Structure 1
Amino acid sequence: MDEPAENISGGSAGGGRFSEFRPGDGTSRAEAVVDRLGALYWQKTYGGQDAFECLVRTILSQNTSDKASQPAHDDLMAKYGGESRGDLAASLADADRNELAETISSAGLYNQKSEVLLAVAERVVEEYGGATAFDEYVRTADYDAVRETLLGMNGVGPKTADCVLLFAAGRDGVFPVDTHVHRIYRRLGVAPPDADHEGVRAVLEEQVPAEKCGFGHTATIQFGREHCTARNPACLDDPEACPLSDLCDQVGVYPETGEVEDPADAA
């Protein structure tokens, strides 16, 4: 199955290549889940996106859907990107905030996001000279140093930083945790029910082989959209409708009553 282009976390323009990975030996339920999802959706080695554009894309996707953030990204690139406009970071650093906010309005929270984009663009230009040198830094510098740098940028949290490390730098062992990943691995019982996003990330990056973390992230997102939704997971109507039913503890899901709650509340 081809990865859908509308998935802003990866998509057909996400770089990387499709590969096949050997299934695990069954000692890690987290790896068993990722293997199952990889067989259901895709197994892909990521990397290859421009680091600054990837950072911009992920900031635009914060707290909104791909359907809303993709047009904002396209409009931003049409106005500020492209070969005729030169370096994207320099172009954004010189942008008028109100014009930028209007350009990305479809992404929601556009006033806040425009301020974040201006701040990160200015920092990239000031510290690296532009997007090209920043891209080289993200790809080649020490992993911990790059992640610390990204997390030190205004408006950049762990998920955003990890997406840049995965989709631009192609770093193995990076498993970004968005709302789907956070919900699903606690619901499955793989991570503690009260684990925060960083707690879930720690479990997954410890238990899933490094080379499987990338497609584990994107395949989990697709599984969350198709089967394990927040309010109406497939198992409520039919346990057999879920391809992970035999691997799931259904934490916070009660098919007998039709109720669904956050795993932390269920615990």
Structure 2
Amino acid sequence: MLTKEAAQHVIYEIMKLYPNAVPMMHYQNPFQLLMVVILSAQATDVSVAKVKDKLFERYPNPQAVSESSPEEIESYIKTVGLYRNKAKYIYKSSCQLLEKFDGKVPNTRKELQSLTGIGPKSANILLNVAFSQDAFAVDTHVARVCKHHKIVEENATPKQIEERVTEIIPAKYWGRAHQSMISLGREICTPRNKKCHEYPQLYKDLEEEPTDTV
């Protein structure tokens, strides 16, 4: 595993490769993002993109979902992996929003993780993307990038990856680092045929601590 200074350097270089990285999925409000986050677990962006617009149209708010049923929700998302469980999560979390939060998506980690289907990764995405709070989410792309580039140990858990990254870079960069690592994981540090060797700056081991600028 890289030293703190070297790992910080690698993260900054990844951010430099993707200075304008933003979420690929479009949404109009926190509730839509919540549904997208639930759908995205173990599913491709392409499969989610194909169903989200009709889902948003049919279910513009938690009230509309609560008046429906998991079975009806299934009919809108059946091309997405694990759709039966996800339909239940969307239904249950919508009911919880109405019961506990006046139909609004909460903006604290504890409250978000009290919702069915929302774990640490999803909560961090919602905090950062929907509410502009400093948070670092660890998905499969982020985990692969961090392990391949030795920012963390190969057997590191998502929680350990989050703790390591948030320890070595300032909070103001957490969201950008997350999005940049996703882009690198999709285009360069892919599950197969990695092209990381074409970017030697991602492997440089520093002797001196880098400046706090990107």
Task: Report if TM-score (shorter chain) is over 0.5.
Answer: yes
Structure 1 residue ranges without an equivalent (≥5): 1-25, 82-87, 139-145, 249-267
Contact 1:57/1:73 (CA < 8 Å) preserved in 2?
yes
1:162 aligns with 2:124: yes
Contact 1:45/1:211 (CA < 8 Å) preserved in 2?
no
Structure 1 length-normalised TM: 0.69
CA distance in structure 1 between the partners assigned to 2:102 and 2:185 by the alignment: 39
- Out of 19, 23, 31, the residue aligned to residue 8 of structure 2 is 31
Comparing 103-112 with 161-170, greater Cα deviation is found at 103-112
CA distance in structure 2 between the partners assigned to 1:150 and 1:160 by the alignment: 9
Find the counterpart in structure 2 of residue 188 from structure 1: 149
- Percent sequence identity is 28
Find the counterpart in structure 2 of residue 127 from structure 1: 100
- Out of 118, 128, 138, the residue aligned to residue 91 of structure 2 is 118
Structure 1 residue 27 displacement after superposition = 6.3
Q: Deviations over 1:135-177 (max 9, x none)?
A: xx41xxxxxxx212222222211111110111011112x1100
Query: What is the SS of the residue equivalent to 2:15?
Result: helix
Contact 2:21/2:183 (CA < 8 Å) preserved in 1?
no
Q: Deviations over 1:214-246 (max 9, x none)?
A: 1111111110111111122115xxx3x235443
Q: Deviations over 1:85-142 (max 9, x none)?
A: xxx01111111222210111222211110000000000000112213xx3xx41xxxx
CA distance in structure 2 between the partners assigned to 1:107 and 1:220 by the alignment: 24
Find the counterpart in structure 1 of residue 35 from structure 2: 56
CA distance in structure 2 between the partners assigned to 1:157 and 1:27 by the alignment: 27
Contact 2:39/2:48 (CA < 8 Å) preserved in 1?
yes
1:1-267 alignment runs, 5 A limit: 28-43=5-20, 50-81=29-60, 88-131=61-104, 134=105, 137-138=106-107, 146-172=108-134, 174-235=135-196, 239=197, 241-242=198-199, 244-247=201-204
Contact 2:7/2:150 (CA < 8 Å) preserved in 1?
no
Query: What is the SS of the residue equivalent to 2:132?
Result: coil
Instruction: Give the aligned residue type for 2:133.
Output: R
CA distance in structure 2 between the partners assigned to 1:157 and 1:169 by the alignment: 17
Structure 2 residue ranges without an equivalent (≥5): 206-214
CA distance in structure 1 between the partners assigned to 2:164 and 2:72 by the alignment: 42
- Against the structure 1 CA distance between its residues 186 and 129, is the aligned structure 2 distance closer, same or farther, given a 3 Å change threshold? same
Q: Deviations over 1:186-215 (max 9, x none)?
A: 121111221111110000111111111111
CA distance in structure 2 between the partners assigned to 1:171 and 1:231 by the alignment: 33
Structure 1 residue 182 displacement after superposition = 0.8
Aligned pair count reads 200
Structure 1 residue 31 displacement after superposition = 3.0
CA distance in structure 2 between the partners assigned to 1:45 and 1:31 by the alignment: 21
Query: What is the SS of the residue equivalent to 1:91?
Result: helix
CA distance in structure 2 between the partners assigned to 1:38 and 1:196 by the alignment: 22
